Amino acid sequence: MSGRGGRIIKKRGGRGGGGGGRAQSNPNRNRFNVFVNRSNNNNNHVDDSYQRICISNLPSTTDRNDLMDFLKNKAYKPMLNFKGSEYKNSRFYFSVEKPEDIPSLVSLSGVRYGGVKVFIAKEDKSSFSQNRVVQNTAPRANNRKIESMKQQQFTSNKQMKLLEDHIDTNYTKSTVPELVDFSYLYTTKEIDFNDLKTIRQLFRLVSEKCKKATTISFTHNSITSLSPFKAMMTHSLDNIINFNFDSNKIANLSELDNLLDLSLRELVFTNNPITNIPNYRMEVARKFPDLQYLDGKEITAEDFPPSPIPPLRSNFCDSAERQQFAYKFLEKYFTAFDKNRSDIITAYFDNSKFSITYTQDGSSNPTRGSTKTYQRFNRNLKKQADIVKKTQLLFDGYDQIYNFFKLYPTTSHYLASSVIDTFLAPGSQYLNVVIHGHYLETVFKTKRSFDRVFILAPAQAGSEAAKNGWEAVILNEQLHVRPYVRFPRLEQQNGAIAAAPAVPDAQTQETLAQQLSIVTSLKPEFAKECLANNQWDLNTALENFKSLKEQNQIPPTCFN
């Protein structure tokens, strides 16, 4: 059975996959049309009888007449006449009657109009096709800045258009709706795939236009950095599970960290320097626990050489009963934390202690979103700080703790995919719960990993906690927040204690029994019994059933 979405389709011959036949038709034509229509000129050639100046940094709502008067006065040119105006691409274009007036207007560049610094340049029509909007009249720093600014803007608009056209011609009409192919667009259309803006636009277009796509191909595009690909998080592109980066220039394993937010099925990095890194396959497989194929080869046990360290196992507990107790507490706690945070206040008491530490990844913007909050309250004791500060950052009692959580971003935790260790500290009645997991900041759409330690005591009868349905009260809690990274692959616990996960509710039991009954033809009641004997794990139950059946140990009366 093949999983979600097809495999990456192998490179097609030559440039057919990407370049497309119309690459060299004039990509700027649509830009000119706006202009041409306005000047009632039906030629495709630009032939406006007036030269124009271009004014940037003002909103479209600006009063044009007032702006024109202002410029006339500032330039000391009472005889100066404007012949029409246009607002396009966030800029005003004013046609100037006499070309000799233009230099004095351009020299006003940098003047404040209504408190806003405006930039003025002469429009150079002939340079459109060369990607240069403005030709400098004087080599002033300002003008150079404008030029590069405009060039960027222009390039970005142009790329947007190219990408859109590309999708329309190559994807929309394609017979393979699973594949979006952007191969060769760097060489044929100069699209820069290392540019954040480009990739953002690209993913926006993909999320709008390629809803059935599961595979994106970026082969032959001179990609060196994958950091723009982080932008995928802001679009819901969970359907994209295969990426083809064949024949690019990706050289560092750390570049792959930009894709960690994704659940990937297949990756291709053939003909990239990265494949020469020692242990390349192992490192990639380790980073992406869901990955099934790398460079067209299935990931197998061979890709994981014997590890020098003892096996990593899943959830530890010293007693199944306490584990249940802890899970129940966490379930209630994180549901409240995500949905109705003020409810957590009663899980703390007068002397509860809480503190937070934080590690940042290189690329995150420290002034943006929640990062600021984490940083401000980061109690990392490795760093120097005076004792008053260190004491203040140890939140003491439910008031202080809840006041902190009011500042904490809104979250959505994924408890089911967490790793949770539960145990008593030797010789005490305190239950220690260490949980490693991740959450989504629902506003900023940022995923974070966290490690959170709770020391719990049973809630006293009649206490505030007990009255609010908490079976335990939090004595100590330490939270560590870090960039989202997938947890390493774990071996399943074996042994009697560990193999006692939560017993599913009645409805889940019914569903499981039904499934087992269908596969095995066992009567439902025997299917249920079989599951109950195998800790409600469908796979274990099925395996044991098979081996018992082979040994003819199941009486025929058990079957339908």
Partner 1 sequence: MYKNNNNSNGSNSANGGVNENLKKMVEITIAKATAFIKEFYYPLYDTERLEVLNLYKDPSISIWNGTECQGLEKIRNLLSEIPKSSHTIETFDCQPVQSFPNILPEDIDNPNILITVTGKVLYGTVSTHNFHQTFLLVKDPSNPQSLFISYDCIRLTS
Q: Is 392 in the site for partner 1 (CB under 8 A)?
A: yes
Which CB atom, from 128 or from 487, has the smaller least distance to partner 1?
Answer: 487
Question: For residue 378, which of 395, 354, 355 has the smallest C-alpha distance?
Answer: 355
Among the listed residues 157, 342, 359, 375, the single contact to partner 1 using CB under 8 A? 359
Q: Is 407 in the site for partner 1 (CB under 8 A)?
A: no
Q: Is 329 in the site for partner 1 (CB under 8 A)?
A: no
**Tokens matching residue 226:** 């994958």
Site for partner 1 in 479-508 (CB under 8 A): 480, 482, 485-488, 490, 493
Question: Which phi-psi region, left, alpha or beta, contains residue 140 (left: φ > 0; alpha: ψ -120 to 50)?
Answer: beta
Query: Cα(276)–Cα(120) distance, rounded to whole angstroms?
Result: 51
Residue partners of 261: CB distance under 8 A and separation at least 6: 230, 232, 233, 447, 484
Q: Is 428 in the site for partner 1 (CB under 8 A)?
A: yes
Question: Which phi-psi region, left, alpha or beta, contains residue 493 (left: φ > 0; alpha: ψ -120 to 50)?
Answer: beta
Q: Is 436 in the site for partner 1 (CB under 8 A)?
A: yes
Q: Is 447 in the site for partner 1 (CB under 8 A)?
A: no
Q: Is 380 in the site for partner 1 (CB under 8 A)?
A: yes
Draw the binding track, 258-297, toward partner 1 (x: CB under 8 A; -: no contact): --------------------xx------------------
DSSP 348-408: EEEEEEEEEEE---TTS-TTSTTHHHHHHHB--TTS---HHHHHHTSEEHHHHHHHHHHHS
Among the listed residues 316, 405, 408, 444, the single contact to partner 1 using CB under 8 A? 316
Query: Cα(341)–Cα(422) distance, rounded to whole angstroms?
Result: 24
Q: Minimum CB separation from partner 1 for residue 92, in Å?
A: 49
Q: Is 310 in the site for partner 1 (CB under 8 A)?
A: yes
Q: Is 81 in the site for partner 1 (CB under 8 A)?
A: no
Task: Tell me the three state secondary structure of residue 23.
Answer: helix
Contact in structure between 124 and 134 (CB atoms under 8 Å):
yes
Contact in structure between 159 and 192 (CB atoms under 8 Å):
yes
Query: Cα(508)–Cα(512) distance, rounded to whole angstroms?
Result: 6
Among the listed residues 31, 265, 379, 413, the single contact to partner 1 using CB under 8 A? 379
Q: Is 39 in the site for partner 1 (CB under 8 A)?
A: no
Which CB atom, from 124 or from 451, has the smaller least distance to partner 1?
Answer: 451
Query: Cα(259)–Cα(518) distance, rounded to whole angstroms?
Result: 39
Q: Is 449 in the site for partner 1 (CB under 8 A)?
A: yes
Q: Is 342 in the site for partner 1 (CB under 8 A)?
A: no
Q: Is 418 in the site for partner 1 (CB under 8 A)?
A: no
Q: How many residues contact partner 1, by CB under 8 A? A: 68
Q: Minimum CB separation from partner 1 for residue 447, in Å?
A: 14
Contact in structure between 289 and 259 (CB atoms under 8 Å):
no
Among the listed residues 14, 78, 362, 426, the single contact to partner 1 using CB under 8 A? 426
Among the listed residues 249, 322, 353, 549, the single contact to partner 1 using CB under 8 A? 353
Q: Is 475 in the site for partner 1 (CB under 8 A)?
A: yes
H or E element, residue 217: strand 215-217
Q: Which stretch, 143-151, 230-238, 302-310, 364-372, contacts partner 1 (CB under 8 A)?
A: 302-310
Q: Is 466 in the site for partner 1 (CB under 8 A)?
A: no
Which CB atom, from 97 or from 396, has the smaller least distance to partner 1?
Answer: 396
Q: Minimum CB separation from partner 1 for residue 460, in Å?
A: 6
Q: Which stretch, 186-194, 208-216, 415-423, 528-536, contacts partner 1 (CB under 8 A)?
A: 415-423
Q: Is 351 in the site for partner 1 (CB under 8 A)?
A: yes
Which CB atom, from 173 or from 406, has the smaller least distance to partner 1?
Answer: 406
The sign of the dihedral angle between the CA atoms of 391, 392, 394, 399 is positive
Which CB atom, from 342 or from 359, has the smaller least distance to partner 1?
Answer: 359
Angle at 112 between CA 110 and CA 118, to 5 degrees: 50
Which CB atom, from 309 or from 506, has the smaller least distance to partner 1?
Answer: 309
Q: Which stretch, 44-52, 102-110, 307-315, 331-339, contacts partner 1 (CB under 8 A)?
A: 307-315
Q: Minimum CB separation from partner 1 for residue 241, in Å?
A: 22
Q: Which stretch, 10-18, 102-110, 134-142, 392-400, contacts partner 1 (CB under 8 A)?
A: 392-400
Q: Which residue pairs, CB below 8 angstroms and at least 24 apart, start in 26-34?
A: 26/129, 27/158, 27/161, 27/162, 27/165, 27/189, 28/128, 28/129, 28/158, 30/161, 31/128, 31/157, 32/128, 34/86, 34/88
Query: Cα(332)–Cα(491) distance, rounded to whole angstroms?
Result: 28
Q: Minimum CB separation from partner 1 for residue 312, in Å?
A: 4
Query: Cα(216)–Cα(178) distance, rounded to whole angstroms?
Result: 9
Whose tokens are 């490693």? That residue is 436
Which CB atom, from 304 or from 559, has the smaller least distance to partner 1?
Answer: 304
Q: Is 389 in the site for partner 1 (CB under 8 A)?
A: yes
The sign of the dihedral angle between the CA atoms of 105, 106, 108, 111 is positive
Q: Is 162 in the site for partner 1 (CB under 8 A)?
A: no
Q: Minimum CB separation from partner 1 for residue 278, in Å?
A: 8
Beta bridge partners of 424: 431
Among the listed residues 478, 509, 515, 540, the single contact to partner 1 using CB under 8 A? 478
Question: For residue 536, which of 504, 559, 493 has the smallest C-alpha distance?
Answer: 504
Question: For residue 354, which of 263, 272, 474 has the smallest C-alpha distance?
Answer: 474
Among the listed residues 170, 242, 418, 432, the single contact to partner 1 using CB under 8 A? 432
Strand 446-458, strand 419-424: pairing:
unpaired
Binding site for partner 1 (CB under 8 A): 278-279, 307-316, 318, 349-351, 353, 355, 357-359, 378-382, 387-392, 394-397, 399-400, 403, 419, 421, 423, 425-428, 430, 432, 434, 436, 449, 451, 453, 455, 457, 460, 473, 475-476, 478, 480, 482, 485-488, 490, 493
